[in-house]
Amino acid sequence: MTGPTTDPRTTAPRGRGAGWVRTRLRAAPLATLLSAVLVFVCVLLATALPRALDRGADRALHAYLAEQGPERTSLTATAPTGQGRTGGDLAASLDHVLAALTAAVGPGYRLADSGPVYGVRAKDARPLAGPGLARPSDVAPNLGLLHLPRIASHARLAEGRWPSGGSGGGTLPVALSKSAADSIGAKVGSVLEGSSGIAPPMSVEVVGLFAPADPADAYWSDTASSCLVRACLKWDEKHEKSWWDAAALVGPEGIERLAGWGTRATDFWRLPVDTGALRTDRLPEVGGRIASYVAGPTATRLVAETGRGDILIASELPKLFAAAEARRQAAAPLAAIGPAGVGGVALVVFCLAAGLTGDRREAELALLLARGGSRAGVLRRLLGEGAVTVLPAAVLAAALGVLLLPAPRPAPGLLAAGAVALAALLAFPVRACVLLSARRAAAPRRRLVAELLVLAATAAAVAEVRRRGVAPAGTGLDPLLVAAPLLIALSGGLLLARIQPPLARLAARAAGRGRGLTGFLGLARAARGNAGGARPSVLPLVALLLAVTTGGFGSAVLASVDGARLQAARGDVGGDAHVATPLGEALTPEFLRAAGELPGVRTSLGVWTDRDALLTADDPTGTHVRAVVADPAAYAELSDAAGRGRFDPARLARGGADAAVPVLISKNLSGKDAGGEFRLRVAGGVELRARPAGPVEGTPAEPSAEAAVVVVPDWAVAGRVPQAAHPNHWFALGAVDEDRLRELVRGHAPASVAERTFVRTSAGVSARLAGDPLQEAAGQLFWTSLAAAAGFALLSVLLTLVRAAPERAALLARLRTMGLRPRQGVVLVLTESLPQVLAAPLGGAVTAVAAIALLGPAVDLSTLVGATVPAGLGLGLRPVLVQALGLAGLVAAAVLAEAAVNGRRQITTELRAGDRR
């Protein structure tokens, strides 16, 4: 019995296989080069997109935590200062606890380079008595005391010496910052008397003045020392008084006297965490370790190590981590739609490239089988041939992606690159396996069942997304929201593939009634398929629809984000521009006139508000409200544009001579009126008999829906309230430049008033909201994905044209022998190709609009906007049409180029003896 024989024509001995592969690659060098380029680009994108996602998420995390400030991103420990111990013992205790706290930090996170801030602070400040001190509003300055052991490494002496001594009775030596000393009117040698109603008087002597080495250093951001670098000017709106708060430093010997100054003293340690070293993928792990540090095993161990059973450790980092993760996960589905679309289009391109290669080598593969080669042996050869092309390009692309986009997590990008390389490697062998399999009869029912399954899956996905909305924060990426637009595009491609041939046949019949045959022949071939098959290929339609649908949907998301962000900014500002004076001040007529003439201002108005108006009805004490006095028509236009407290100005129209004044009241004041009327007392003791003309929920002058507000027409107080003639608010609609507006404020108000004047514009607020790195990363990722998807979609069209080019060129050559002119050949190619490739972008526009209409209500844009906004996408046609028409233009240009080349080829180039095309 003999074993199986090996055909030397299909199986080379060891050491000669490479020669066969090299020969096959040399037979089609251009195809080999293009395949390598395609693999290189796809693998580079697959490597780069996950790394870009990681980098964007990390930048957003670092920016979000940096906005919170060092105090909120620190580990803070406090404990009552030990009594009965000398200053030296207390200082040693501080260092001992600091060493234990620092040693327990990590792993997974570390402390910032600025170092810990620790010391002892008096709980309360004391007002200072004495001549020469600054007393705004005739209120004495307050002074708090604290001890910072490492102050000398963060500050320099400007005058005098550092405090020392003072452990006994008598005057306590302290050091003030030079800025604080200048503010409160102290200097070296000043003795400041601190009074207290519950403790004996104490005095301090300023023995030194210091200046911070870096005022922006995080070391000075702690609330305990917030008024240490510079004095803080406090303001009491209710009593309209201001005063200075300052803090001074004591030496180690003065620690034991801090409790006497501030009723008690507290030891504190603040350990700032280096937020720039945190990684998004490790937040859960780091959050768990910090939670253990605050109230867990680590905290219990610290109590034992420090010997301070009363130590209390706190940190807001776990809460901030949860908020940052919720923001990232809320933006993740919207950010993943673009890369998912690119992946879908790239998969279609691989299939088309494999089909093109299969058509070119089908005869070769059949010959190998006819000469005794096995199907497994042929496939092994094809895999080896593909590996020589795919693997070097994939490795080079992956290495370049890692080099260009450094990221802490290599796994996601490398896994995506490996998946793409595997798909590229197996695409042609899988196609060859189909070609080498036994031919089966066409099964239209099988295709119909598959298409119905796709339609059913699309309907189910859309219904589920609309029913439950986007997956809530904390549950990770929502695959259903990502897959739903792609399923809609796939369904649209299948429907278009069914609809396009009958439409082309109808067009061909209409063209057949004309005099020329070129249009009829081209449309007839378009109905049959570019390659003369039974139907047009579905793959290029799907590629184009995927590109247009994902691009249109993503563009609608970004356009909706921009619109919602601007509207949110308008609601926050109260219009496009808002200027508000400090309490007791008013805007000058010159400013109002100049502001109304600023470039970009469409309309403006001055508004007067009384922050302490009194509304009374049955209750004798009344309710304090904020009265807003404005012109009804102009204020109604402003409220409508800002989306705050919209109302019909006719409601505030003037009534009869004895009629009550119609006013708008906030919803929380409903029920305050008795018999439909109430009394409103405003500045100067003027009392108005008013009736509610309708409710308002927020208003431009007071956006908060919880505030008690009454909107009064200006005609009701004209001539009765002199203050109302001098507005303290100015609003405007239009493109107002914030810098020019601030300059105008400084030019029409004293410096002390201009510094406290509120100036904001919607453009400035919108720009600050748009500056969030999370939003920037999502936008950049989308536009990159859109460009890649458009490129792959165009490539799918080119592959389709190249696949049909030999058969079409042969047809044109035969028709040329019958008298077809070159120009008519170009028209024939265009008539045959354009119906399919131009119908796809238009169909993509329809599917994009359908995706927006079906999925838009479930999309919450608050995270990308940067403010809470109502859920839903705006159905704007412009972003969709821009995507569709742009891609249609690229496709048309490609078809024109192909038609110009094929339509003008020489007859002898295509017609050869024995050619069966």
pLDDT at 407 over 60: yes
- For residues 531-547, give the mean pLDDT: 67
For CA atoms 197, 202, 205, 206, the dihedral sign is negative
Q: What is the mean pLDDT of residues 533-538?
A: 53
pLDDT digits (tens, 9 = 90+) for 697-751: 888 888 777 788 899 998 888 888 888 888 999 999 998 898 999 999 988 888 8
Reduced DSSP (H G I as helix, E B as strand, rest coil) percent helix, strand, coil of the chain, to 5: 55, 15, 30
- Comparing 5 with 241, the larger pLDDT belongs to 241
Distance between CA atoms of residues 416 and 774, nearest Å: 22
Burial pattern 96-120, b for ≥16 Cβ within 10 A else e, equals ebbebbeebbeebbebbebbbbbbb
Q: Helix or strand or coil: residue 275?
A: helix
Q: How far apart are CA 48 and CA 749, in angstroms?
A: 54
Which pLDDT score is estimated for 729? 92
Q: pLDDT band at residue 535, thresholds of 50, 70 and 90?
A: very low
Mean pLDDT of the chain: 81
pLDDT in tens, 280-296: 888 888 989 999 998 88
Alpha carbon distance 57, 401 (integer Å) = 18
CB atoms within 10 A of CB 878: 10
Q: Which pLDDT score is estimated for 422?
A: 92
Residue 905 has pLDDT above 60, yes or no: no
Q: What's the burial of 851, exposed, middle or buried (CB within 10 Å: 0-12/13-18/19+)?
A: buried
Q: What pLDDT is stored for residue 732 in this prediction? A: 92
Phi then psi for residue 234, to 5 deg, are -95, 155
Report which of 323, 303, 295, 297 is spatially closest to residue 75, judged by C-alpha positions: 295
**Which SS3 state, helix, strand or coil, does residue 651 take?**
helix
Confidence of residue 470 (pLDDT cuts 50, 70, 90): low
Q: What is the mean pLDDT of residues 512-534?
A: 65
Is residue 889 scored above 70 in pLDDT?
Answer: yes
Q: Give CA separation, 73 vs 106, 280, 401, in Å.
A: 15, 15, 33
Residue found under tokens 């708090």: 144
Residue partners of 638: CB distance under 8 A and separation at least 6: 574, 575, 603, 605, 700, 731, 733
Pairing of strands 577-580, 758-761: antiparallel
Are 557 and 565 in contact by the 8 Å Cβ rule? The answer is no
Residue 760 forms beta bridges with which residues? 578
Confidence of residue 533 (pLDDT cuts 50, 70, 90): very low
SS3 label, residue 690: strand
**CA dist., res. 244 & res. 140, Å (int):** 8
**Spatial distance between the Cα atoms of 354 and 11, rounded to a whole number of angstroms:** 24
Dihedral pair phi/psi, residue 912, rounded to 5°: -130, 155
Q: Is the pLDDT of residue 812 over 90?
A: no
How far apart CA 246 and CA 71 sit, in angstroms, is 19
Alpha carbon distances (Å) from 614 to 584, 587, 665, 693 = 18, 24, 13, 18
Q: What percent of the chain has pLDDT over 70?
A: 89
B/e letters for 750-768, b = 16+ CB within 10 Å, e = fewer, are eeebbeebebbbbbbbbee
DSSP 735: -
H-helix or E-strand containing 793? helix 773-817
- For residue 622, what pLDDT is reported? 78
634-675 pLDDT, tens digit per residue, is 999 998 888 888 888 898 988 777 788 899 988 878 766 555
763 and 738 Cβ atoms separated by less than 8 Å: yes
Pick from 48-62, 77-91, 831-845 the range whose average pLDDT is largest: 48-62
Of 350, 271, 227, 247, the C-alpha closest to 71 is: 271
pLDDT tier at 440, thresholds 50, 70, 90: low
User: Which residue would you say has higher pLDDT here, 774 or 615?
Assistant: 615
The Cα 262–Cα 199 span in angstroms is: 9
Q: What is the pLDDT of residues 178-225, one digit of tens each?
A: 988 988 888 898 888 888 767 788 889 999 999 988 887 878 877 555
Distance of alpha carbon 506 from the chain centroid: 48
